[in-house]
């Protein structure tokens, strides 16, 4: 049977990654907040035709690179961020031979739910 994902997590494997996932989500939120604060003024300056460079742009691109590094942590493990603001995360898994997602939301103590690949959060069911 052909699967969409190469990596499939058991509940225990996904559970073991939760401390790292929480840390990555916190880092993403912090960097995103910083980028969101910087972006409007940079966009305005660019629209006005300003020639940007120096420390301000270097800081912006360092933040952007940091964001990409954290996203790479998720991508390399095929863990999906469904909603960054909520901290909604899906881990590819198998139930029997069916490919599904183990579903976790920041604030939940443990991985308690799963859903089909197509049903999303609305299709969450207890494990």
pLDDT score for 62 = 86
Query: Is residue 50 predicted with pLDDT exceeding 60?
Result: no
pLDDT score for 63 = 87
Query: Is residue 40 predicted with pLDDT exceeding 60?
Result: yes
pTM over 0.75: yes
Q: Which range, of 48-62, 69-83, 113-127, averages the lowest pLDDT?
A: 48-62
Query: How far apart, in whole angstroms, are the C-alpha atoms of residue 12 and residue 83?
Result: 23
> What is the crossing angle of helices 11-47 and 54-76, to 10°?
150
pLDDT score for 18 = 98
Query: Is residue 51 predicted with pLDDT exceeding 80?
Result: no
Q: For residue 47, name the pLDDT band (cuts at 50, 70, 90).
A: low
Q: Among 108, 106, 19, which residue's Cα sits nearest to residue 127?
A: 108
pLDDT, tens only, 104-120: 999 999 999 999 999 98
């Amino acid at each position: 049977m052909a699967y969409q994902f190469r990596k499939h997590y058991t509940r225990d494997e996904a559970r073991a990654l939760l401390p790292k996932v929480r840390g990555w989500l916190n880092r993403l939120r912090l960097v995103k907040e910083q980028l969101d604060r910087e972006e409007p003024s940079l966009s305005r300056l660019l629209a006005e035709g300003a020639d940007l460079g120096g420390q301000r742009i270097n800081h912006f691109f360092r933040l952007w690179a940091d964001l990409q590094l954290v996203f790479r942590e998720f991508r390399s493990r095929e863990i999906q961020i469904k909603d960054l603001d909520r901290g909604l995360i899906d881990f590819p898994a198998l139930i029997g031979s069916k490919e599904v997602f183990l579903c976790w939301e920041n604030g939940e103590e443990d991985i308690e739910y799963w859903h089909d690949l197509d049903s999303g959060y609305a299709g969450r069911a207890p494990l």
